[in-house]
Amino acid sequence: MVPLLLLPLLWGGSLQELPGYGLEVQESVAVKACMDVRVTCSFSYPWNSGYPRYSSGELFIYWFREKDQHTHDAVATNNPRKRVRPETQDRFSLLGDPSNNDCSLSIRQARLSDSGVYYFRVERGYDVRYSYRDKKLNLLVTGKPDIHFLEPLESGRPTKLTCTLSLACDEPHPLLFSWAGDALDAMKPDTLHSSELTLTPRPQDHGTNLTCRVTFQQVTLERTVLLNVSYIPRNLHISLSFKNVTAHKILQNTSSILISEGQALQLLCVADSNPPAQLSWFQGSPTLEAAPISSTKVLELPYLGTGEAELTCQAQNPLGSQNIFLSLIVVSPPQLLGPSCSREDEGLRCSCSSRSRPAPSLRWRLGEGLLEGNFSNASFEVSSSSAGPWANGSLSLREGLSSGLSLSCEALNIHGVRSGSVLLLPGKPAFLVVGALGGAGAMALLSLCLCFLFFYILKARRKQAAMRPEGADDEDPVMGTVAWGSRKKPCSDSPPDQMVLSPAEDAPPPGEQEDLHYASLNFHEMTSREPQDQEATSTEYSEIKTS
């Protein structure tokens, strides 16, 4: 009766080696198709030379496919009576001497069909018949198809691609081809199962993968290539950033932008192309002879003056070029010069000028009325003209000049409004021009000018009083024209909160303020009073303005 301990041997082994059985083998082996490989192996099994039954048996070793039983054909063996699989005959062979416990295996001209798992078996006499199932040989035969095409790929140009699988050592087998990749999304599916493919690459296909798969005998091999598609510059755009701002703002669907005068800009030009494009900036439209103002993608504009700047960014590579145009329109609010008025016969003529981007429009306000354009009547005449960023206007009043009459000149564009006013004072022929200019500096300069004017008038008045006969009328020839609410402090160290522009008796009550920014006084041929027996002298006062 066979001992129960030997039953597993009769069953061909177990998942764990029995005591006394051992196998040392390289469990994972990879080899390229049609190449040779050697797998080293050694084994052990229970052996007792004292028992004749062991010594009388001949030692045979075998290598089998995992799916085959030991009764099937082996892939390699030293047993001359055992059949060997036809596809491995003369290619799979034992290298060492089994009596030295050597089970090394030689594989020549490996075929893709050789890939798989193999197990080892030992037999000696009737008692040693064992299959080693714990350790197995995992053989991987690698091979990849080849993809051929004419490089470089160019966007829009149809290109023929061919996929081939060359395995000269293997037996001919029917091959199944298939293609995959994002570049094929627009192609018909039935065209993707051939060894040849016609591809018309697009710019977006650059940098994508294209794969060819070959399947035969339930083995699939594949080759993947990275597409390098050349294309002309595209998606050209400009972004800008202002001074001390690192982030750039992309200009979307625009060919012109408005920039404040004096602004500092940095323009950045970006293009998508392969090979990378050379980026350049030009003033106006680029010509063959034009030299770029910048040969990099960045253009620095430290100061933007008046007018417009026409700029072009050009992106160029060997396949072509693309241009993008940008017009910088410099804008500014109106700057007002005037109004300035003078006596003219029996009337008054005032002029006013303004500069801005875009050019301003001028209009006059006479009392509550609004005057603009070019027209005249018996009472007044209005005219205006413009040239570039300048606008000039004039207003002539022929009648209706009365004490307290006010008029103003207004300059306006879409970026702001500036105005200046004229107030005709009672008494002597003098008038006050009141403009609109903010800032403590202007008020300080105004105070200084008024101080000089006050001392000059006071000196003239004292000189006149010394020459005037006693008992004469006490009328103030100068201060009767321009009266001040207080003569004790004609000027101060800081700009006053208010200035009284009407006679003292009409001064606003305490606590009310008038929002005045600057003032200038025009005196035209003011003659001081002299005694009858002295020659009269004439003093002409020039116009005093702050701006």
DSSP state of 360: P
- pLDDT digits (tens), the chain, 547 positions: 333 333 333 333 345 677 889 999 999 999 988 899 999 999 999 876 555 555 557 899 999 999 999 889 999 999 999 999 999 999 999 998 999 999 999 999 998 889 999 999 999 988 889 999 999 999 998 888 999 998 889 999 999 999 998 876 766 778 899 999 999 998 888 889 999 999 999 999 999 999 999 987 778 889 999 999 999 999 999 998 887 676 777 777 668 888 888 888 889 999 999 999 999 999 988 887 889 999 999 999 887 776 678 899 999 999 999 999 998 888 888 989 988 888 877 788 899 999 888 889 999 988 778 888 888 887 888 998 988 889 999 988 877 677 677 889 999 988 889 998 887 766 544 455 554 443 333 344 445 445 555 555 555 556 555 554 444 444 333 333 232 233 333 333 333 332 222 223 333 333 333 333 333 434 333 333 333 333 333 333 333 333 3
Shortest CA distance to 284 belongs to which of 322, 313, 258? 313
pTM of the model: 0.57
pLDDT, residue 496, reads 31
Q: Name the burial class of residue 497, with classes exposed (0-12), middle (13-18) and buried (19+) by CB atoms within 10 angstroms of its CB.
A: exposed
CATH architecture designation of domain 4-142: Sandwich (2.60)
Check residue 67 and give left, alpha or beta (phi > 0: left; psi -120 to 50: alpha).
Answer: alpha
CA-to-CA distance for 161 and 361, rounded, in angstroms? 69
pLDDT digit string, tens, across residues 503-537? 233 333 333 333 333 334 343 333 333 333 333 33
User: Position of tokens 């004072």?
Assistant: 425
**Residues 6 or more apart whose Cβ sits within 8 Å of residue 324:** 236, 237, 238, 269, 312, 313
CA-to-CA distance for 106 and 40, rounded, in angstroms? 9
Query: Is the distance from CB of 129 to CB of 139 less than 8 angstroms?
Result: no
Residue type for 490, please?
A: P
pLDDT, residue 56, reads 58
Which 3-state string (H, E, C) describes 501-527?
A: CCCHHHCCCCCCCCCCCEEEEEECCEC
CA-to-CA distance for 92 and 101, rounded, in angstroms? 18
Where do you find CATH 2.60.40.10 in the chain? 4-142, 146-227
Query: Is the distance from CB of 515 to CB of 499 less than 8 angstroms?
Result: no
pLDDT, residue 464, reads 53
Query: Is the distance from CB of 122 to CB of 128 less than 8 angstroms?
Result: yes
Burial call 363-402: b when 16+ CB within 10 Å, e when fewer: bbbbeeeebeeeeeeeebbbebeeeebebbbbbbbbeeee
Shortest CA distance to 318 belongs to which of 232, 228, 205? 232
Class of domain 146-227: mainly beta
CA-to-CA distance for 43 and 165, rounded, in angstroms? 39
Q: Name the burial class of residue 496, with classes exposed (0-12), middle (13-18) and buried (19+) by CB atoms within 10 angstroms of its CB.
A: middle
**Tokens representing residue 430 in the block:** 């003098």
Find residue 322's DSSP bridge partners: 315
Shortest CA distance to 179 belongs to which of 162, 166, 157, 167? 162
Query: Is the distance from CB of 169 to CB of 91 less than 8 angstroms?
Result: no
CA-to-CA distance for 326 and 307, rounded, in angstroms? 14
pLDDT digit string, tens, across residues 100-153? 999 999 999 998 889 999 999 999 988 889 999 999 999 998 888 999 998 889
456's enclosing H/E stretch is helix 440-467
User: Position of tokens 């030295």?
Assistant: 100
CA-to-CA distance for 338 and 547, rounded, in angstroms? 9
Helix (H, G, I), strand (E, B), or coil: what is residue 479? coil
